[in-house]
A and B are shown apart, each in its own frame.
Chain A
Amino acid sequence: MTKTAPAAGFVRRLAGTLHRRPRLQLSLLLTAPLTWLVLAYLGSLSALFLSAFWTTDSFTSSVVKVWNTDNFTTLFESDVYRQVALRSVGVALAVTALCAVIAFPVAFYTARIAKPRWRPLLVVAILTPLWASYLVKAYAWRLILAEGGLLDWLLGPLGLEGPGYGLTATVLVLTYLWLPYMILPIHAGLEQLPDNLLDASADLGARTGRTFRSVVLPMLLPSIAAGSVFTFSLSLGDYIAVQIVGGKTQLIGNLIYSNITLDLPLAAALGTVPVVIIVGYLLAVRRTGALSSL
């Protein structure tokens, strides 16, 4: 008897077959996730897009499946919707900018100043708020921002008072909620930034501020852009924080939410607006090269 591979059990034979047939291997690997992606993900998106072309019977509020573009006409022609859309983009941009400004020094400390053995612990500390429920955190801020609440009490001795519920409060709370998503990519970017580039810049005569502007910031642009994808899209899609601390503020998210029961096709048409904006945002971000490094 010739000596070949040791006694081939079923598992071993199967592994051998798969090894010889890479296509079969690939299809086994991807069938389940692809089915999920196509049905649940793209399916629901197309359903959203299709239902945006239906209307509602204004009398019974039931959906009428007749094709028309009335919803989009309403969106484009009504000042209210345009204002809400612009306000939502403004909030998302403000949250993103605030997150970047706050995240940078934090990430600089965790990635470059803190002792290496403390760094993983600090990253965990930054992530900890994400383990708590979103609603709990939003309601906590409602208490902080309440009239005579913590913020008023803190600012009182300075002769100031908190912003109360409204647009400012919404931006503040969203910034708090999404900050970790900005800190993490900047932390990773700063960790990879070679020390000797900073040395080289100083060596060539650049003061700290100059090195920051000419070397650190341009090299971290992809990291900041990556973080901004999270902060921007999460802020644009949010509808809960604004209900809890936004007072009377209307953003596109809560407009959709309030229309779901009344006029589902209009809500669907509204829902395509953030999708289009975020696609545009991603295309803009792609130009910085941030997405190729994700």
Chain B
Amino acid sequence: MRQLTARFRCDYPGVRFDIECALPLEGTTALCGVSGSGKTTLLRWIAGLPPAASGFLSFAGDVWQDDARKIFVPIERRRVGVVFQEPLLFPHLNVEDNLAYGMKRTPPSHRRIAFEQVIEMLGLAPFLQRRTQRLSGGEQRRVSIGRALLTSPQLLLMDEPLAFLDQERKREIFPFIGWLNRELGIPVVYVSHDLNEVLQLARHVVLMKRGSIAAAGPVQDIFARPDLPELAESNVVGAVLDTRIAEHEPQFGLTRVEFFGRSLFIPQQDLPVGASLRIQIPACDVSVTTDLQPASGSALNVLEATVVEIGQTPGNGHAVDVTLDAGRPLLARITRKSCQRLNLNVGQKVHAHFKAVALHS
């Protein structure tokens, strides 16, 4: 698989960077972590922007930086698109000239994305002749994404492109990022501190902590790990499953989805049968029974599972996190008291009852 390999080691006042990672160059990879963890810095190093750092960086085999061999490919020759945290449109150019700035500097043989395609996707047609100062924040953001895309980048780097946008604007841009991956095959590396956003958008997650990588892997694996305090203390920890819509049951307001031959029910979705849908099973919505009689409770979703691990919930002395294996990893957050009463042990067969929610992307 094509990969981006990064190794950086350097000291800055207050933070020591020690980064070693290999990001898959497919789909969206989220760099997340609290502010100050170094996610934006890593993104800038991938782009080739200051602050200078010594290290090694290669993109699908092309070396972009290797201090041992004194190699440093400048940003303009890395063919990356960068969407910065602020739109940073050029104030002396109108919208159309902003959009075309990078395209004009991209050799025709490298252009894979048509101007009209981007205009249409981002809904920019009405603004082309306008001065950038007369656009709203969301419109400016869309122009800045379009401007980066029109260079037909081989990698798109986005630094919190959805920050400061309201929910409605985010919903406008979300599908667009997915479309980039699917239709254009452009891998996206995306910085975010919003774990809900990451859950919806990302296929891979790199979790950063004080200048190093705390965890990295597919989003399903990372979000089901109870041992990462950044996740565990939020309400987003829990299994993530990629499922297909199997059927709708409008009389109950439910939709049945399937994964690995198992069925789950979720509130009815507005998607065709056969469509893929990512769902989450939040750990706090999972309960565990040792009574293995099927259909003995009101919960619709019951899966047979094996206890893999029982661990203290970080930051909550009265709860434990139980990792279950139900074909896919499942995480249950239950009270310490229940755990004792059920006398749970590693290796034990249990039933997991839960609610699942759809994650729209």
The answer to whether A binds B is no
Enumerate chain A interface residues (CB-CB to B < 8 A).
none
